[in-house]
Structure 1
Amino acid sequence: MRLKKQKRHHRIVRFYVTCYDFHKPFKVLCDGTFVRHLLVNRITPADTALSNLLSVGGNAGAKLFTTRCVLAELKSLGDSYSESLEAAHNLMIARCDHTSRKSAVACIMEIVGENNPEHFFVATQDTELRKKFYEIPGVPLIFGLRNSLLLEPPSLFQRHFAKSVEEKRLHMTDLEYKMLRKRAEKMLDKEDNVTSDADEELGDQMPASENLSKTSSSHKTGDMKDRPQFKRKKAKGPNPLSCKKKKIHKLPNLNPEKITLFVCDC
């Protein structure tokens, strides 16, 4: 079961790397609910756990981020979230451009934007926030389940968006088509100029070449008449020295004296 989960996480990470240009070290943007979940379930150290999740056992070197609005929201929740606030202070701060304080959900939505330019993995336990990111391309989601961390598979919208972008890359734009056409016309003009120059040079050299061909042909015919004609040798039989002599089989001598006749009385 653990091996299947690792393979599934590896496929998800590879999808975002190939289709949305994510690269190592991966950046994880955490909200207050996710930090709280890590402390309650004692998933520490958090950076090691997330590195193992994103690299499937390797060393991806995940960097954990949060925002000032998340810290302010944890501080406003009172002493019950003091440990979560201390743990969140140890994370790096992602820059948010808004001047006035916003809620953690609005702040994270603004940082991610319409296409997640900073390539953040968003780690949250808020199901409503995760649903909002289903309709934004290139936003991988991380959540916790008891004492384990899970990567959420890409939504259908994210898969269709990646497929459409890949199809656009395969086709030329209008500007690329015009540039290619101009280049082809220039190459054709150069070829026409080269062929015309070559034809002119050949036209000047034709009389000299004809005379040379005539003289060469006359020399060839004269040489053919003067040359002696040799007859081809016909194929001969095998070398008699290399052949074996035939063996002569002699019949035994029959002496008539030694011949005895057997006569039987009937």
Structure 2
Amino acid sequence: MRVKKRSRHRKAVKFYSTCFGFREPYKVLVDGTFVHHLLVHRLLPADDAIREILSASRTTPLFTSKCVLAELRRLGKSHAEDFDAAQLLATASCEHDKVVTAVDCILSLVGDKNPEHYFVATQDSDLREKLREVPGVPVIYGLKNSLFIEQPSVQQRKFAQLDEEKRIHMEKSEFKKLLKASSEGKASGDVNAPGVAEKSKFKRNRAKGPNPLSCKKKKPKPQPSDGQNQGPTADGEAKRKRVRKRKRSGKDRDQAETIS
């Protein structure tokens, strides 16, 4: 069961990182219900528990908002102290002049496309249902002493598929610009005009052929004719033989003189 659970979580994180550009360190936006669940089931420290289900190599920062803290203070001092016990690291700027509910504040932080790439951790079923309709918002929730990542909803998968098709296909405006640039390039005859393929500046090192000189056939050596072997040439001149003279030392000269 643990292996299957971990593989499902990794697939969900990979889906959001591939289709919506989530990168480490991941940001997790939590509300009061989720922090209360962590404290009741002793899933502390909270950042380590969430980092484990996200299979993150870095420390995962946890965020909350001023409106969420204000709502908890109204409920009681003990609820507000839950965030200190859970070791939250930062506070997201919600930019609300008046304090709103935690659900409205989190929805405003997420927006239409979740530009800050938040993982939203909550136990509120109504908030989780609303977040399923927003593309690119992964939801984390707790079940007893375990944490889970919701699998991408049907709306999120459809949005990712449509976005991928848009990136593959060219829009009409881009196609018109390309045609206009290519027509201007042909009319001017400029090689460097837009729309005309430029020649590469650097040549690739390709495999060279063999040396043509080494491929030539060797010429046979001319053999001497019979007339040349007999000695005298056609002009009647005999070849001069090279006579090597031996240099004699001093002892040889004395012996030669005595003999003579």
Check whether TM > 0.5: yes
Using the TM superposition, name which of 181-190 and 117-126 deviates more: 181-190
Partner of residue 11, structure 1: 11
Percent identity between matched residues is 52
C-alpha displacement at 1:183, in angstroms?
2.6
Structure with the largest fraction of helix: 1
Determine the C-alpha separation between the residues in 1 that align with 2:26 and 2:4.
22
Determine the C-alpha separation between the residues in 1 that align with 2:190 and 2:104.
65
Larger radius of gyration: 1
Q: Does residue 94 of the first structure (1) align with residue 79 of the second (2)?
A: no
Determine the C-alpha separation between the residues in 2 that align with 1:31 and 1:125.
8
Aligned partner letter, 2:106:
I
C-alpha displacement at 1:187, in angstroms?
3.9
Determine the C-alpha separation between the residues in 1 that align with 2:186 and 2:58.
52
Determine the C-alpha separation between the residues in 2 that align with 1:89 and 1:69.
18
1:75-114 correspondence runs (5 A): 75-87=73-85, 90-114=88-112
C-alpha displacement at 1:5, in angstroms?
0.6
Contact 2:46 2:87 in 1 (8 A): no
Partner of residue 35, structure 1: 35
Give 1:125's match in structure 2, choosing from 123, 126, 131: 123
Determine the C-alpha separation between the residues in 2 that align with 1:180 and 1:82.
59
C-alpha displacement at 1:186, in angstroms?
3.3
Partner of residue 168, structure 2: 170
Aligned partner letter, 2:124:
D
Contact 1:54 1:60 in 2 (8 A): no
Which string of whole-angstrom CA distances, capped at 9 and with x for unpartnered residues, describes residues 78-106 of structure 1?
A: 24425414336743100011100111111
Give 1:69's match in structure 2, choosing from 67, 70, 87: 67
1:1-266 correspondence runs (5 A): 1-55=1-55, 58-87=56-85, 90-189=88-187
Contact 1:67 1:95 in 2 (8 A): yes
Determine the C-alpha separation between the residues in 2 that align with 1:179 and 1:61.
46
Aligned partner letter, 1:35:
V
Contact 2:46 2:86 in 1 (8 A): no
Q: Which runs of 5+ in 1 are unaligned?
A: 194-266
Give the count of matched residue pairs.
191
C-alpha displacement at 1:192, in angstroms?
10
Contact 1:71 1:88 in 2 (8 A): no
Contact 1:47 1:62 in 2 (8 A): yes
RMSD: 1.9
SS in 1 for 2:142: strand
Contact 1:74 1:85 in 2 (8 A): no
Determine the C-alpha separation between the residues in 1 that align with 2:182 and 2:88.
60
Determine the C-alpha separation between the residues in 1 that align with 2:6 and 2:61.
20
Determine the C-alpha separation between the residues in 1 that align with 2:184 and 2:145.
66
TM-score (norm 2): 0.69
Contact 1:115 1:137 in 2 (8 A): yes
1:90 and 1:121, CA in 2 relative to 1: closer, same or farther beyond 3 A? Answer: closer
Q: Which runs of 5+ in 2 are unaligned?
A: 192-260
Which string of whole-angstrom CA distances, capped at 9 and with x for unpartnered residues, describes residues 236-259 of structure 1?
A: xxxxxxxxxxxxxxxxxxxxxxxx
Determine the C-alpha separation between the residues in 1 that align with 2:142 and 2:165.
35
